[in-house]
Amino acid sequence: MAIEIDLSGRVALVTGGSRGLGRADALTLARAGADVVVADILVESDTSAAEEYGVLAQAAVAQGMVHSEATVEEIRSLGRRALALRCDVTDRDEVAAAVARTVDELGSVDILVNNAGTLDHVGQFHDQRQELWERDLRVNLTGAFNCAQAVWPHMKERKWGRIVNMASVAGTLGGFGQASYSTTKAGLLGLTRTLAMEGGRHGITCNAIVPGIIGTEAFHMANAAMNERIANRTVFKRPGEPQDIANAIAFLCSDLAGYVTGIELNVSGGVELFVF
């Protein structure tokens, strides 16, 4: 007998949900029955934050890859409730307001997917820039902390919650030319384990997804030769797809994963293995 993932009656908040992994996560959670809030620094009606958040955000605007409101419309077409909220995860007031509106309009916040992140600070260690190092810490690590802390009391009150942090193989293996990125992703693993230990008594699980090379918009904007080189390190000799990540997240957010917490789940095509 097939066992289906059923998130009916749950409300999910997905950060960085405008495109890439976050958009796939939001749509997949909705297909499984959840109502979804798509939170991002960029929404089609307000892309003013792009300059502040680097070349990938600017490229997303320039190339029409901002889909916050479009994703919400797609979710609503499935018969689910949905909101598109502009939210900077580094701003605790904006995070608090996003969570408050989620609870006010959708009734609860049961699932948090900490997907918002930056990954455009590339350069060998001696060339890493302090201001971008600090920005990456604020977005990738402190942003996840801010969001988790904002939803925590609501999950405790309901005695049920799912938090999924988006880590990376750069955090488990290191990343050449990615000192700030890999450091923040490694930090997320420590946060994940701690929230798992503290959340268990309240019915809250916390797990980390560890993606490898995934065929997002950012991947396709990168150097093609380098992409091929990295893809060839995987068992399958190809990048994964955003849906591969979203499927794993849907499972971790469901009752089927009620006894799974504190793990780092590699969805990486075996890139961490000794492949030759």
Q: Which residues contact 212 (CB under 8 A, 6 or more apart)?
A: 169, 234, 239, 240, 266, 267, 268, 269, 270, 271, 272
Tell me the three state secondary structure of residue 86.
Answer: strand
CA pseudo-torsion sign 260, 262, 265, 271: negative
Tokens linked to 221? 């904007």
Q: Which of 24, 181, 184, 246 is catalytic?
A: 181
Q: Rounded distance, CA 118 to CA 191, Å?
A: 18
Q: Which residues contact 28 (CB under 8 A, 6 or more apart)?
A: 243, 246, 247, 249, 250
Going by the DSSP 8-state scheme, the letter that residue 214 receives in this structure is: B
- Is 259 annotated as catalytic? no
The residues carrying an active-site annotation are 181
